[in-house]
Amino acid sequence: MHIYVVKSGDTLFQIARRYGTTIQAINKANQLPNPAQLVIGQALVIPVSGRFHLIAAGDSLWKISRQYGVTVEEIVRINGLSQSAPLQIGRQLRIPSPAKTPIESTGYIEPSASGYSGNILNQAREAAPQLTYFSPVSYNAKRDGSLEEPPIRPLSPIAEQNGTVFMMNITNLENDQFNAELGRILLNDEAVQQTFLNNISRIARQTNFRDIHFDFEYLRPEDREAYNRFLRRATERFHREGKTVSTALAPKTSATQKGQWYEAHDYKAHGEIVDFSVIMTYEWGYSGGPPMAVSPIGPVRNVLTYALTEIPASKIVMGQNLYGYDWTLPYRQGNPLARAISPQEAIRLAVRYRASIRYDFTAQAPFIDYTDENGRAHKIWFEDARSIDAKFSLLKELKLRGIAYWKIGLSFPQNWLLLADRFTIIKK
């Protein structure tokens, strides 16, 4: 797979001819909402073997080989070059694909108010071949140790057909909000905790969950050690029952980071106790905040770099958003929330309002500025092939266990193509 960014005057015919492929192949790969009207700045995934490099002034075979992590000999062989001949500026070189890295991948999947809509199930079918785990959101704990169960039956045939296993996602959500008091009870009341663990064990056995995933958020800071003790107890039990145990962690950059989301999450302890942890490296740009990239590469790197000082790389899973936000400007605190949109919808909006797509190379994220029919200015930050490939490169560089997507249901076909192209997904 090669990533190409649309320029002024480009057509699918021209792009297909340039790369020796077809209009139909490009259209199918990208599920283009706008095949007859490409957007300047739109990133396309081109289904060809290998990658391409346009020779620029100052390039050398050695420099290009270092840039792509391949040998000079491979570049020479695949392009029929002579090592002694000068490079021709403007010539397009084919770059061989690197070896694929094996990783695990998880897709969180949340039913709508009426269950799993047809769209969510279609997105689940598209994603399942490239997922190790489905994680239905969520089994919500109650104050007596019982669990409110989500509907998962519609997912069973999709998981079975694709060798995707179920991850039992358990939260301290109460009335759609993470609840510290509920967490306190579960972590400190011995009788309730025993009932809670027994219920998890029963449901996991009945439904064939193979990983028990705790997403306990906004706990009281004083329950940090209680959470660690609970995880030790849960892990010992579920390991005996043949399950792995995982957790979701807030994106911290130090052990002493303040704030209710962070203080009860002890990276070092989780790294020692559980089998792996998903770090929620997204939501810097969020629905109630000012417009910015949802998962800018710099802050993501900072969180993961800190995590590696406390948790083995083999236990770290990078969280990744499958969505962006559309903000109405000017942003003021207390404004109506920004609207979550898929990457496909972002492109449709660019077409509708004749806006170009620009790219922030510091954040490694695309954005769109447009004005709607009522004269209101908007800014969209979203994901595209370039931004997701930057995260894939970081995942490889840091040698992490894998990636976890929040959440299935928002269309981003380029992600699944690139994931399959860059990695071998571990199936269990």
Name the residues annotated as catalytic. 217
Q: Which letter does DSSP use for residue 330 in this model?
A: S
How far is the CA of 237 from the CAs of 56, 194, 242, in angstroms? 59, 11, 9
- Say if residues 220 and 184 touch (Cβ distance below 8 Å): yes
Half-sphere exposure of 67 (CA within 13 A, CB side): 14
Q: CA-to-CA distance for 335 and 276, rounded, in angstroms?
A: 38
Distance CA 357, CA 379 (A): 11
CA dist 396 to 54, 241, 389, 392, Å? 24, 32, 11, 6
Nearest alpha-carbon partner for 414 in 33, 18, 38, 23 = 33
Q: In 61-92, which positions are buried (b, 16+ CB within 10 angstroms) versus exposed (e)? A: beebbeebebebeebbeeeebeeeeebeeeee
Signed CA dihedral, 77, 83, 87, 88: sign only = negative
Q: Are 381 and 292 in contact (CB under 8 A)?
A: yes
Rounded to whole angstroms, the Cα distance separating 138 from 141 reads 9
CB 114 within 8 A of CB 154: no
CB proximity list for 47: less than 8 A, separation 6 or greater: 1, 21, 25, 26, 29, 417
CA dist., res. 283 & res. 195, Å (int): 34
Contact 83, 68 (CB under 8 A): no
Give dist(CA 406, CA 416) in Å, integer.
14
> Which tokens sit at 426?
């571990």
Sheet containing 339-341: which strands, arranged edge to edge?
Answer: 339-341, 324-328, 377-381, 365-371, 358-360
